[in-house]
Chain A
């Protein structure tokens, strides 16, 4: 049985790397190795891949305007990215689960354009590199890989800006999480919603009460089973049907 997020097991969180070898679950290893670059080689280019954390709920990984230093893969926990608008209101931009990379949108400039904060106890793998130009000349393949990851993030956020119903947004959110967790070796059908209701609501551009109303209705109709933070997708087909238009766009 696959571990339901956020529980870890050997397939989702390995700690078997060292100064020379990537961990077997490393988010960066494949792209680097494809470039013929191992950890020793990275070090020679002043690029460091190292474990950091734990960060606790509420601690920031970086803030909007901080000088860009590194990207990071989430190893454990959940990270939220957000911006504050001119009226002081928070806008949730996304959630990052284990194996997903934050800081990519700072790569092309000097500064991080968003805030990243830990929602619970977070462990990271930090990939620091002093200059984008080093990537561009030495590891163009890796740079392309990172930009691909970035555009996927941007695409994901854009989906929810469309004219979708609350049900469609919620279903898309749940199916999206399910697919992302499955890709990282977690159970696709049962997981915890580690992000609080208000953040989910903000992200989906719904009121918090609406998030709950939709989930209560989904539960009543047999699509999900909710037990505190624990969520089980009990009618995946129906949820995929609702989510389809949103995720395909």
Chain B
């Protein structure tokens, strides 16, 4: 009988509840979220933040992120920052600036601060050849101090359509030991509707190659709510994926926002599943993954029980950053490349999101800081709280009181007021001095977090459903 006290017990799917609480909100990969960053925060502020972070008695280790913005082919659902091109020489031009950024950035950090994690995201990181990726890794190893520890990760997002098993083997030889494969759906009708035609064979070949190359874990990305998705089609996709038993699965909800994301205008709205159908797809995924033995980590992520994410969560050692869930707690995050976000000391900073601005800054010998912010103590407290909620499904009231020297009920009187309806709907319970998400609440962690978000306006309204919507 799964214990209510373990986040590893499975989420409970309640369609009516999910429907009522379904509203746009941040994913809280950071708190405060990126829209709070401001352009007043520039190079000087970043240098000051890095210097201050070096001043800790035990300075934090480093996680590195490299953004590769190029994609060979546009997927219509995509809301990411990317540049569609088949011109591989653009990769070389990009790298020339990236090496400059690495050389400018690395000296900000004391040399004894080891790199414990490196992740390539995009776009399509495998737009770059293994040789090119190897050069980037070499440059980073030269300028930074990479840890020799067995727990050091070098990971990459891969598009299986544009990488072959031999190349995956090369990546393994370069030190890559984790990968995430984009799939979304194997149903040919859906693939056509989103312009991502990718065969099962192609995908499984790449996945097997990752395993053959000794990758510690492979993640598969799926999306529900895409045009022409059906229960049967998605069921087949899930079954196909589950047959190869990836270590991790992320099942994202498609957010149709064509006003914000131009590529999505090529999706025929009439072909999108209804809200109820979409929820049905999520329920299907949860049922199948649970039956296959996967553990729900949180925020759309699942893992096998002996995957280190699941084990970390079990012992309370899970963490979450811009790159997703990780076992590497408490590192400073150094983001490089266009649009990359960093988290250094008590600051966040972001690179320009357009390629020309990023290039110009580096050509002029400047750190390409576009915007950022310094976190106040209140920001840090709420960030800590939201982090623990997202990772452990609970808010450790006494631990926070001790760490930040506050009286929780007093300090968070407003937030607790906003949380009342969620208590009434049994999304959360107060037990043993801990605020804990119930199995129903585990799919709505974002709504709980929103109660504690000081930047939501009007805060009283956003977290709570205004009225029931009929399906």
| A interface residues, Cβ below 8 angstroms from B | 3-4, 7, 193, 196-198, 200, 208-209, 211-212, 215-216, 219, 226-231
Contact = CB atoms under 8 A, between A and B. Distances in A.
B159 to A, nearest CB: 39
Contacts of B57: 193, 197, 200, 211-212, 215, 226, 229, 231
Interface bracket on B = 10 to 19
10 contacts: A3-B405, A196-B54, A197-B54, A197-B55, A197-B59, A211-B57, A212-B58, A212-B59, A215-B57, A215-B58
Contacts of A193: 57
Given A208-B110, A209-B112, A212-B112, A229 B56 contact: yes
Interface string B369-390: 0000000000000000000000
Nearest to A4: B405
A215 B52 CA distance: 18
* Chief secondary structure at chain B's binding surface: loop
A197 B109 CA distance: 13
B403 interface: yes
B333 to A, nearest CB: 15
Interface string B306-331: 00000000000000000000000000
Nearest to B110: A208
A7 B404 CA distance: 11
Interface string B53-71: 0111111000000000000
Contacts of A3: 405
Interface of B: 52, 54-59, 110, 112, 403, 405
Chain A CB within 10 A, most for which of B55, B57, B59? B57
A210 to B, nearest CB: 10
Contact of B56 (A4, A209, A219, A228): A228
A82 to B, nearest CB: 16
A133 B304 CA distance: 80
Contacts of B110: 208
Given A4-B405, A7-B405, A227-B403, A196 B55 contact: yes
Nearest to A199: B55
A198 B403 contact: no
Contacts of A229: 55-57
Q: Top 9 closest A-B pairs, CB basis?
A: A196-B55, A209-B112, A212-B58, A193-B57, A215-B57, A226-B58, A197-B55, A215-B58, A228-B56
Given A215-B57, A226-B58, A231-B57, 8 more contacts: A7-B405, A196-B54, A197-B55, A197-B59, A198-B55, A215-B58, A219-B58, A229-B56
A211 B403 CA distance: 23
A211 B112 CA distance: 11
Contacts of B54: 196-198
A228 B54 CA distance: 10
A112 B55 CA distance: 28
A80 B58 CA distance: 20
Contacts of B403: 227, 230
Contacts of A200: 57
B112 A216 contact: no
Contacts of A226: 57-58
Nearest to A7: B405
Contacts of A208: 110, 112
A226 B403 CA distance: 11
Contacts of A197: 54-57, 59
A193 to B, nearest CB: 5
Nearest to B52: A196
Contacts of B55: 196-198, 229
A240 B112 CA distance: 29
B405 A216 contact: no
Nearest to A198: B55
A229 B53 CA distance: 10
B49 to A, nearest CB: 13
Nearest to A196: B55
Nearest to B345: A228
Contacts of B58: 212, 215-216, 219, 226
A3 B405 CA distance: 9
A219 B58 CA distance: 10
A86 B56 CA distance: 29
Nearest to B51: A196
